[in-house]
Amino acid sequence: MNWLEILNSTNEYSDVFRLLGIALIGMLGLCLFICLAVCVFSGMLPIGLALFFCAAMLMMCTWVGFKIVGTRKPAEPVDLEKLEAEGKVITEEFRVKRAFEVEEFEDEGMHLFLELEPGRILYLSGQYLYDYVEILDDPDMSQPASFPCEHFKVKRNTKHGWVYEIESLSPFMAPDEKLPCFSKSFFDKYDFPDDGRIFDIDYDQLKQEIRG
């Protein structure tokens, strides 16, 4: 799980890390500005070069700040019908033959690999997948498992790719296997795959690569 995925999550701990990150960037920027000012006034650095460094620093801080606070998935419920009417939702429809699950590394969410056809595997991952698991121990939230299934639609934010909803169009289909966490060799080859990625690889071969 990379730093951006951690910052984009919506739990209470990520909020703390987000604020600490902003504070750290601000402190580093201030320290660099003071150092540049000292160098200019002492004649060690031309004013033009100092202005260049300041502009570069401002651009970097702006970019990092946007990554920290500008791409976070909203925690509040959204009006999906309104977003669809505004063209802000893309809907993808899939039919799959079978699926397997991979154990979480920390708390990044479920990892599901779904075979679309021989040699094409859809990868879905995130906390949102827990919205579709079976819940029996809480009467107020009790629900049957509804995903994965053979036929479904995924509704995503057109700009950022967030999944708003998975619409199951067929009965629940249990994964045929749950593998241990991704192996180092898998990460070396694929890094941390993006949610929604399609792997062009044989189903069983992908399992073997995940096992390492």
Q: Give the residue numbers spanning the domain of 52.
A: 3-69
74 in a domain, yes or no?
no
Are residue 122 and residue 156 in the same domain, yes or no? yes
Q: What is the pLDDT of residues 191-200, one digit of tens each?
A: 889 999 999 9
Q: What is the pLDDT of residues 3-46, one digit of tens each?
A: 444 444 444 444 555 566 667 777 777 777 777 677 767 777 67
Per-residue b or e along 116-139, where b marks 16 or more CB atoms closer than 10 Å to that residue's CB: eeeeebbbbbbbbbeebeeeeeee
Out of 46, 69, 92, pick the residue that ends a domain: 69
Out of 69, 90, 118, pick the residue that ends a domain: 69
Are residue 204 and residue 142 in the same domain, yes or no? yes
- Residue 130's pLDDT band, with cuts at 50, 70 and 90, is very high
Are residue 137 and residue 158 in the same domain, yes or no? yes
